[in-house]
Structure 1
């Protein structure tokens, strides 16, 4: 009887152990999902983010336990505030806002580029401005003070002896979202726009805007990344594997754009329409595409030169030191 009771207890314990083991494996294999938020703008040079979103590239690289969300921004300063606050894990932004935030103490790193080119200086039809020599005394618009396009334009003009009122010159500077440039031209509110593509091409097509300074001539036009991929120091230090996956997805998107330009244009038109409610003509986007080079490689020396120019224009109070700012290890 005792022997039978002992065998029965052993059997019960084995069953309980098996149940416990099975329960533990199920719990360990179903870890809680986390959310990664990617930020970007409705500009052509942010096309890699739109392509990656539409094709599910971030989701594929990050894996099933990661929920990917997307957040769009009107300008770089707002984007960088969101990054500093931990509201986004990374994304695409102009090098100007990224640089300004880094100098201000925000823990951020450039981990790749998105594109070069795509900045065009255009003038309002009827303004009488046909070349840079006519710009003195005019009103120009850029997305933000000290943003990438602002620095490019003012660098070019200062080299020719023309500066803004901010530094004692004659040009009046206002700011606004690029998607609103067309209406501001139509209303006669501004004379010149520092326009990121595709908005320059849109204004050429819709309101007969004149190209004053093409991408090939504007300062840093073909060397400076028009947009860079950034993330926080915390992500690099504590979640480098996830950062690598984000960069790998971004690289896949850039390669896809270069291999499939027609489809990428359609995706970008749709992506911009979703954000701005503006359906752009494909012909305008094709023109803008010709002015843009999509690449994920970034040159730290160019970033430093751009920072030096920002300091020279008095956007920065001190000469910038970008040690630790550009991290090329993830794209190599």
Structure 2
């Protein structure tokens, strides 16, 4: 009789635990009811802004899915969030994505976000008329080894033979948020900035600096994805349907930008103000837009070439092999 009573108590409990275990999170073990998408408040990431403002992820994900958004100041914090599962996907520069992949991170680039948009700005009064004048000067980038840093340092090394003091060269390097570069120019704290749009156009409009090297002349300026859409390999393997739905929304956002540029610009102005508390003028947005191509297409060769440059500059300890990083099955 006691055995029967024990089974009577345990069977409902076992059923309850099984039910709890069946409601999996976004790791692909079941249908997630909540996901988080990440991006930066940069013009290269307008697809993230449009997708949020137009609620495009809710259109492609299963009914009842809650979509959250998280904003990042740099690629390192974004990649950490991908690896820990705090976000399920989003836009980041190719530099952090490749650096983390070569360090063992289990991630996939499943689409691009945009190309172009990196500009090298010189502070007014810094006595810099050409890149050759960078000897002994200080430049700023968002992070050490980030996309914009590698683009600038590759150009300076290959074209002018000038390198950072990090590798016993002639330029001093500091880091900071792009939204602060105009004020740092005004205060005379840095001489040159390798800047993602719209902050280059903002510096131009405020009269604190001038273009030293424009987008087409920066290393990989028009071929390298300025932003890539990244998710975890675990999510790709365990829940490819979710990844397909996420990428489909991202593609829809990109198409919207291509077909509705003026509305997309208005969304970018609004979202950047919401996130950074800085309101950009129409002039700044229009100028920045001219330097960027919004696309979800990505070529692995361009990423590999860029990664080789990261290695040549000493940002990577071993020559990188990006085999397995890019998964184009979701954009084909």
Task: Give the structure-1-normalised TM-score.
Answer: 0.90
Q: Which residue of 2 aligns with 1:58?
A: 57
Deviating above 4 A after TM superposition, structure 1's stretches of 4 or more consecutive aligned residues are none
| 8 Å contact from structure 1 (residues 139, 191) kept in 2 | yes
1:63 offset after TM fit, Å? 2.8
CA gap 1:126/1:106 in 2 versus in 1, 3 angstroms? same
Q: Which residue of 2 aligns with 1:26?
A: none
Let me know the Cα RMSD of the aligned residues.
1.3
- 1:224-249 alpha-carbon deviations (Å, 9 max, x no partner): 00000000011100110010111111
Q: Which residue of 2 aligns with 1:278?
A: 278
**Correspondence list, 1:174-213, <5 A:** 174-213=174-213
> Is 2:88 the partner of 1:89?
yes
| 8 Å contact from structure 2 (residues 147, 226) kept in 1 | yes
- 1:73-109 alpha-carbon deviations (Å, 9 max, x no partner): 0000000001111100010000000011111111111
Q: Which residue of 2 aligns with 1:103?
A: 102
Q: Which residue of 1 aligns with 2:265?
A: 265
**Rounded Cα–Cα distance in structure 2 between residues aligned with 1:272 and 1:263:** 14
Q: Which residue of 1 aligns with 2:238?
A: 238
- 1:207-261 alpha-carbon deviations (Å, 9 max, x no partner): 3411001001000000000000000011100110010111111111111101111
**Rounded Cα–Cα distance in structure 2 between residues aligned with 1:33 and 1:93:** 23
1:64 offset after TM fit, Å? 1.9
> Which sections of structure 1, spanning at least 5 residues, go unmatched?
1-30
| 8 Å contact from structure 2 (residues 186, 208) kept in 1 | no
* Secondary structure in structure 2 of the residue aligned to 1:122: strand
**Rounded Cα–Cα distance in structure 2 between residues aligned with 1:281 and 1:302:** 33
| 8 Å contact from structure 1 (residues 33, 65) kept in 2 | no
| 8 Å contact from structure 2 (residues 45, 113) kept in 1 | yes
**Rounded Cα–Cα distance in structure 1 between residues aligned with 2:130 and 2:116:** 20
Q: Which residue of 1 aligns with 2:26?
A: none
| 8 Å contact from structure 1 (residues 32, 65) kept in 2 | no
Q: Which residue of 1 aligns with 2:156?
A: 157
* Secondary structure in structure 2 of the residue aligned to 1:216: helix
CA gap 1:144/1:246 in 2 versus in 1, 3 angstroms? same
Greater Rg over alpha carbons, structure = 1
**Rounded Cα–Cα distance in structure 1 between residues aligned with 2:273 and 2:184:** 19
| 8 Å contact from structure 1 (residues 182, 203) kept in 2 | yes
**Rounded Cα–Cα distance in structure 2 between residues aligned with 1:33 and 1:113:** 24
**Rounded Cα–Cα distance in structure 2 between residues aligned with 1:51 and 1:33:** 23
Equivalent residue pairs, number: 303
**Correspondence list, 1:239-254, <5 A:** 239-254=239-254
Which deviates more, 115-124 or 125-134?
Answer: 125-134
CA gap 1:125/1:181 in 2 versus in 1, 3 angstroms? same
**Rounded Cα–Cα distance in structure 2 between residues aligned with 1:147 and 1:94:** 7
